[in-house]
């Protein structure tokens, strides 16, 4: 098993050896403490295909035929889907082995997996800290070497933020490039499935596999994209912008220092980096937390114990609904359903939801205007490093952690986290955002940085 942590998709293909057994052994060894998986597929076998023998994990809000899918919620505790999500089907057809389903905040609502109904995933760098969320299980599984890659979903940063906390690559594609068929919906206009990997190249390889038009998802675009196209390009002539407001939004000193170093690193490679005004940034969190809960209120109405989910039988229909939802949905899910129902109500729709949609348009317009002058926008991925489990009690503090990641979801553009050093011995991540459908260039630029990254970023050995 030595060296499995450093194993990548590319390396496994070179060696021509299956690592399915190694992955299962590593999970059995580490996951009792790490708690990255809700369900492990101990009967996993190699499948025929180009990527035969490559073990991959899937976030537990993406359905898998015959393999339990819970969304980390009590209401779906025993749900075994009768079909595969489109991305899972594509992975299997390419030879990937689904090794298990990873932990998340319930229905993907949270930033630390502390809202999972089953367990809290631990950060591989410090087991007293969170792995991030909501795709914390996927990020921890990759960072610890339990798997070489994983899929997550990203609604407001749920791939990129845990990737930053765990020191791995996390990529959110342009909205519509990856089918959401089989992804249990959180906020349909914001959700996107993407890869969490150890290298940028692996992320690009996975994108080539899982992307593409899907007749089962009307929001997918019929557009052929080659995600590995720019991996060997020279990006020294690009123009990059960062919002001056980055330093106004509760950023930790250590993260601010790494970001300044990141800017200097880019300038040292001859890249033009400008500080720009982005006053709309401060409205992104409020906008998101009106739009996303509104869509949650609609999407989760089906989990009522009648149509889907565990039922608590009571005398009347209303009482059955109330008991089924109250007993089987967690506090954060209930909070967001209530907020969304309120903002969609007739009396408040114009004041909240419609206004939020207008502000979303303003934020998108601002981002598009910046891309008229610049190739990429950079920020820290998270204003803080991984926090201690149980340390944060106030939901508003949780929500503000998404300040840098939310704009990419509101605008539907591609964004990636890349590791760039440490603060207090914890990983720090930098975010690169690109124009809509410029996913190959975002990956290419990230790979260009990764190759010359001055910070050595080994995966930490587990504590004895």
The set of residues, in sequence order, having a beta carbon less than 8 Å from that of 251 and lying 6+ positions away, is 259, 380, 383, 384
Which two three-digit tokens encode residue 351? 């004041």
CB atoms < 10 A from the CB of 301, how many?
Answer: 13
Q: Per residue in 292-329, pLDDT tens? A: 999 999 999 888 877 777 777 878 877 887 777 788 89
End-to-end CA distance of the chain: 16
Q: Which CATH architecture has domain 1-464?
A: Alpha-Beta Complex (3.90)
> Does 432 score more than 90 pLDDT?
yes
> Does 461 score more than 50 pLDDT?
no
Give the whole-number percent of the chain exceeding pLDDT 70.
Answer: 96
pLDDT attached to residue 459: 45
Distance separating alpha carbons of residues 121 and 24, to the nearest angstrom:
18
Which two three-digit tokens encode residue 104? 């998340």
Q: Is 134 a catalytic residue?
A: yes
Q: Is 73 a catalytic residue?
A: no
Q: In Å, how far are 103, 398, 403 from 9, measured between CA atoms?
A: 22, 34, 32
Q: What letter would DSSP give residue 71? A: T
Catalytic residue among 158, 284, 297, 382, which? 158
Mean pLDDT across 114-136: 97
pLDDT attached to residue 456: 55
* Contact indicator for 296, 109 with CB cutoff of 8 Å: yes
pLDDT attached to residue 6: 76
CB atoms < 10 A from the CB of 277, how many?
Answer: 12
Distance separating alpha carbons of residues 443 and 445, to the nearest angstrom:
6
Of 350, 344, 329, give the one whose Cα is nearest residue 295.
344
Per-state percent for the chain, helix, strand, coil, to nearest 5:
40, 15, 45
Diameter of the chain by CA atoms? 71
Q: Is 29 a catalytic residue?
A: no
Of 169, 259, 198, give the one whose Cα is nearest residue 446.
169
pLDDT attached to residue 462: 39
Distance separating alpha carbons of residues 192 and 181, to the nearest angstrom:
11
Catalytic residue among 5, 35, 59, 366, which? 59
Catalytic residue among 23, 73, 94, 134, which? 134
Domains in the chain: boundaries: 1-464
Distance separating alpha carbons of residues 65 and 118, to the nearest angstrom:
21
* CA-based torsion, 158, 159, 161, 162: positive or negative: positive
Q: Per residue in 21-59, pLDDT tens? A: 999 999 999 999 999 999 999 999 999 999 999 999 999
Task: Write down the H helix ranges in 40-158.
Answer: 86-93, 136-144
* Contact indicator for 159, 18 with CB cutoff of 8 Å: no
* Contact indicator for 450, 432 with CB cutoff of 8 Å: no
pLDDT attached to residue 304: 80
Q: Per residue in 172-226, pLDDT tens? A: 999 999 999 999 999 999 999 999 999 999 999 999 999 999 999 999 999 999 9
Distance separating alpha carbons of residues 144 and 123, to the nearest angstrom:
9
Q: What letter would DSSP give residue 353? A: I
Q: Per residue in 81-123, pLDDT tens? A: 999 999 999 999 999 999 999 999 999 999 999 999 999 999 9
Mean pLDDT across 362-377: 98
Distance separating alpha carbons of residues 303 and 75, to the nearest angstrom:
7
Distance separating alpha carbons of residues 187 and 197, to the nearest angstrom:
24
Distance separating alpha carbons of residues 186 and 107, to the nearest angstrom:
7
> Does 460 score more than 60 pLDDT?
no
């Amino acid at each position: 098993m030595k060296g499995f942590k450093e194993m990548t998709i590319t390396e496994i293909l070179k060696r021509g050896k299956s690592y399915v057994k190694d992955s299962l052994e590593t999970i059995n060894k580490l996951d009792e403490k790490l708690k990255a998986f809700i369900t492990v597929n101990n009967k996993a076998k190699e499948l025929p295909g180009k990527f035969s023998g490559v073990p991959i994990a899937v976030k537990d809000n993406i359905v898998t035929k015959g393999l339990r899918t819970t969304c980390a919620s009590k209401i779906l505790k025993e749900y075994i889907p009768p079909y595969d999500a489109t991305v899972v089907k594509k992975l299997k057809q390419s030879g990937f082995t689904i090794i298990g389903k990873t932990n998340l905040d319930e229905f993907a609502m949270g930033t630390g997996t502390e809202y999972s109904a089953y367990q809290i995933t631990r950060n591989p760098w410090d087991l007293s800290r969170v792995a991030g969320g909501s795709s914390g299980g996927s990020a921890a599984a990759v960072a610890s070497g339990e798997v070489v890659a994983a899929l997550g979903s990203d609604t407001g940063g749920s791939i990129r933020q845990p990737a930053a906390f765990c020191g791995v690559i996390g990529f959110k594609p342009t909205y519509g490039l990856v089918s959401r068929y089989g992804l249990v919906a959180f906020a349909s206009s914001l959700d996107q499935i993407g890869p969490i990997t150890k290298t940028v190249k692996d992320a690009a390889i996975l994108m080539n596999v899982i992307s593409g038009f899907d007749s089962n998802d009307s929001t997918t675009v019929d557009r052929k994209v080659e995600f590995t196209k720019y991996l060997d390009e020279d990006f020294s002539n690009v123009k990059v912008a960062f919002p001056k407001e980055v330093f106004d939004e509760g950023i930790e000193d250590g993260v601010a220092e790494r970001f300044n170093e990141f800017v200097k690193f880019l300038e040292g490679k001859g890249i033009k980096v400008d500080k720009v005004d982005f006053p709309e940034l401060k409205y992104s969190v409020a906008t998101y937390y009106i739009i996303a809960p509104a869509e949650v209120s609609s999407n989760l109405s089906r989990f009522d114990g009648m149509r889907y989910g565990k039922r608590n039988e009571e005398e009347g229909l209303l009482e059955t609904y109330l008991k089924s939802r109250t007993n089987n949905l967690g506090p954060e899910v209930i909070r967001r359903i209530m907020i969304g129902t309120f903002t969609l109500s007739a009396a408040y729709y114009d004041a909240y939801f419609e206004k939020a949609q207008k502000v979303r348009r303003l934020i998108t317009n601002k981002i598009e205007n910046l891309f008229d002058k610049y190739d990429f926008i950079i920020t820290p991925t998270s204003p803080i490093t991984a926090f201690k489990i149980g340390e944060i009690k106030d939901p508003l503090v949780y929500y503000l952690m998404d300040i840098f990641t939310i704009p990419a979801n509101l605008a539907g553009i591609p964004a990636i986290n890349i590791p760039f050093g440490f603060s207090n011995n914890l990983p720090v991540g930098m975010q690169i955002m690109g124009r809509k459908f410029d996913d190959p260039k975002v990956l290419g630029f990230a790979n260009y940085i990764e190759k010359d990254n001055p910070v050595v970023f080994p995966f930490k050995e587990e504590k004895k």
